[in-house]
Chain A
Amino acid sequence: QVQLQESGPGLVKPSQTLSLTCTVSGGSISSGSYYWSWIRQPAGKGLEWIGRIYTSGSTNYNPSLKSRVTISVDTSKNQFSLKLSSVTAADTAVYYCATILDWGQGTLVTVSS
């Protein structure tokens, strides 16, 4: 079991790029066979899977966001990251980094000018 912690700006302007980082502790991001995912949840709504990166570096994205999403990993820092470009108010949500078992506490990102 690992611990995950999201970090990044809580406010992003429309049309800009949302950037978040997930720091993994209690284990190496490059060991084992894990998918490291990003999931988001607008206030009062359900969960939406954004995408994931495997320990090998291969990625999968939700087709609904694929044109705007990049997930990357920095094994030297034991972190993986999310970039979501051209954001609008519809991207306002709590963003979680997660494995199937372990989730971060979530971070609220608001898109507003």
Chain B
Amino acid sequence: DIQMTQSPSSLSASVGDRVTITCQASQDISNYLNWYQQKPGKAPKLLIYDASNLETGVPSRFSGSGSGTDFTFTISSLQPEDIATYYCQQYDNLPITFGPGTKVDIK
């Protein structure tokens, strides 16, 4: 299985701050990586697909980059509604695997 790691596991930031989350794959996954946002009690929501493509309707303050084994997810200006846990997911190899998540809250 491809192991996905994320850092940090949690962070607190102020409204308007730039927030960056990293995701690392245990082997090369090209750009077969998605980023999901999950709010408490809700299903995950796709934000970024294929590492860097913004899903339709997702605010442009969200972005993703990277390829191979190292990926970055950025919120350019943190908003109160962005409080959530963020997961990366690889789908290059089966089984599909997720990172452990990064919990983001407001300082």
> Interface on A for B, CB 8 Å cutoff?
37, 46-49, 52, 60-64, 96, 98, 100-101, 103-106
Contacts and interface: CB of A to CB of B under 8 A. Distances in A.
B79 to A, nearest CB: 22
Contacts of A98: 43
Contacts, number: 40
A49 B96 contact: yes
Contact of A100 (B43, B46, B98, B100): B46
Contact of A106 (B43, B46, B49, B99): B43
Interface in B18-63: 34, 42-46, 49, 55
Interface of B: 1, 34, 42-46, 49, 55, 87, 89, 91, 94-101
Contacts of B99: 46
Nearest to A51: B95
A63 B96 CA distance: 11
Nearest to B57: A1
Given A60-B94, A64-B95, A101-B55, A46 B87 contact: yes
A103 B43 contact: yes
Nearest to A62: B95
Given A96-B43, A100-B34, A100-B49, 4 more contacts: A47-B44, A49-B97, A61-B95, A101-B46
A47 B43 contact: no
A103 B44 contact: yes
